[in-house]
Chains A and B, each alone.
Chain A
Amino acid sequence: MSMFDGFKFRSVNSSVHKMDPRAKFIYVCVMFAVAVMFSQIIPLLVLLIIQMPLVFAARVQKEWLRSMKGAAGFAIIIFLMNVFSLYFYGNYESLSAIVERSFALTLRFMVLIESFSVFFLTTSPDLLGLALEQSRVPYELCFAFTTAVRFVPVLAEEAQTIMDAQKARGLELEGGSFIKKIRNYIPILIPLIVNAIRRSLELAETMESRAWGATQNRTNLYVLRMGRKDFLLMLFSFAMLVVSVYVSLNVQIPNIIYLLNI
């Protein structure tokens, strides 16, 4: 159970998964912009909560929670760093003001993690590659992206096999100083790299044999088309942006300590 599992695509049959990655990408960008616009607790808390319906609609609560838990460790570090730096370098009148601001900045981090997690949890690499292609990213780059994703599990398995094979020959992986530990991994890295090079040659040969580069006007088995839900999501993102800009310019957002009269 690593934090990264909270970002790894899970195939679930939900309407969020079926949405156009481009629409979701716009949503993530807006979330990012809005989160950076505010540095008070209340609006950031709103941002954190407002995304929850999306998580539930996508039925990825478990994975999402995992990403949030994983991020919690970082969040604590961010919080403490903020408290320290604001205490020594900021000119805040009270400690509670410092804590409030640090907490807000930590919340901002959580909001960003939340929207990234939703995006990556619900967007299949396949669709993402297709979205890149249709956004006029050069095909070579899109191809490199999907191929990289395709070979991650293969390379992981290969690394495991090599590790087992070398251990069976008496390679000691654990123990020793830091430098020693890195040195220990050389007998694993070298075969891994050699294999990867050999594999890439074979792949290149196969690509050539499948008419790679035959025409500039490459076609695609699928086309992404924006549907009603995608337009709704984009509309929502746009509305969010407008409201946020308005609020940040015209509304004086009260501090919690002020409200509580501490």
Chain B
Amino acid sequence: MPIIETKNLTYTYPIGTKPAFEDVTIKIDKGEFVVLTGPSGCGKTTLCRCFNGLIPHFYSGKLEGEIYVSNLKVVNHPIHELAQHVGMVFQNPENQLFALSVEKDVAFGLENLGISREKMRERVDWALKITGIYGLKDRAPYELSGGQQQRVAIASVLAMQPEIIVLDEPTSFLDPVGAQNIFEVINRLNKDLGITIILVEHRLDLTSKYASRVMIMDKGRIILDGPPKEILNSEEARLIGVGIPKVTRLYQILKNKGLNLNEIPLSAEEATKGLLEVLRI
């Protein structure tokens, strides 16, 4: 049983003339790490809004087709119920923190759910530790760097113990090192806790090595969907202009020149290893 399933899902914003995305049929299994990418305006954010019910409960408009998340039919369940299954992390870290201390922010969702104080304490500390910000728990949000703020946002959804976490370009406001840290935290959530991850991201250089699956959207449709190596090495991916990892591009160029690596590399380490193997012959 997939944890997310959509059938011919199509959505049009109230002020929109054409659908923001159309005819999306996907199945995502528990424990997958999906990287969703595609040119700006292709509908990635809009699709993510369906996963926790922001569409159709917060945004009106026209939603056609079917969508199930954690076996719940999204249109029939309020956002606060879906929020316990799907955590959402947005782009701008600043607008995701509203309490006056880190700790209060992480507790916010649990307070809304009416969880008892002892349990809340436990879960807040747990989430702070996993995301590596326990030491910051009494700080005010404006005293934190963007990367730290984004980790607070992740801890806040993590505390609600969702099975799925959706992150919409969580690092676009961050520097490369901050971004790298965030990706490592996300990877831990996936590998150690088994949380299903859907990550919208343009920086495939940094993320594809963690992914178990890559989806590429264009003009409101999912046009490529499969294992990272296969998708990123495809001709279509390159033509759409998604930023495929440079080492993957290097692999393609070497191949055209007649040098075949055994494996398609996604990271510099894999490329080095592949090159050493081939050059040693």
Contacts and interface: CB of A to CB of B under 8 A. Distances in A.
Interface in B87-116: 87-88, 90, 92, 94-101, 103-104, 107-116
Interface in B141-189: 141-142, 156-157, 160
Contacts of A214: 80-81, 83, 112-114
Interface stretch (A182-190, A215-223, A243-251): A215-223
Interface stretch (B21-29, B117-125, B128-136, B234-242): B117-125
B54 interface: yes
Contacts of A210: 83, 108-109, 112, 156-157, 160
Task: Select the residue from A124, A143, A150, A215 with max chain B CB neighbours within 10 A.
Answer: A150
A203 B275 CA distance: 48
Interface string A133-170: 00000000001001101100110000000000000000
A206 B96 contact: yes
A128 B9 CA distance: 46
A215 B103 contact: no
A212 B80 contact: yes
A109 B238 CA distance: 73
Interface residues of B, number: 43
Contacts of B113: 211, 214-215
A219 B114 contact: yes
Contacts of A124: 100
B103 A221 contact: yes
A175 interface: no
B99 A146 contact: yes
B100 A150 contact: yes
Nearest to A214: B80
A88 B262 CA distance: 101
Counting chain B CB atoms within 10 Å of each CB, the highest count among A205, A209, A223 belongs to A209
A206 B100 contact: no
Contacts of B107: 221
B98 A147 contact: yes
Contacts of B110: 219, 221
B247 interface: no
A154 B146 CA distance: 13
Contacts of B142: 150, 153-154
Contacts of A172: none
A73 interface: no
A212 B80 CA distance: 6
Contact of A203 (B58, B98, B140): B98
Given A209-B52, A209-B87, A210-B108, A219 B116 contact: yes
A262 B242 CA distance: 91
A213 interface: yes
B128 to A, nearest CB: 12
Contacts of B94: 154
A229 interface: no
Contacts of A154: 94, 142
A123 B114 CA distance: 27
Given A126-B100, A208-B54, 16 more contacts: A126-B99, A146-B99, A154-B94, A205-B54, A209-B87, A209-B88, A209-B157, A210-B156, A215-B112, A219-B110, A219-B111, A219-B114, A219-B120, A220-B117, A221-B110, A221-B120
14 contacts: A124-B100, A150-B142, A154-B94, A205-B58, A208-B54, A209-B54, A209-B79, A209-B87, A210-B112, A210-B160, A212-B80, A212-B112, A221-B120, A223-B117
The 6 closest A-B pairs by CB, nearest first: A214-B80, A210-B109, A211-B80, A221-B107, A209-B88, A215-B114
Interface of A: 124-126, 129, 143, 146-147, 149-150, 153-154, 199, 202-215, 217-221, 223
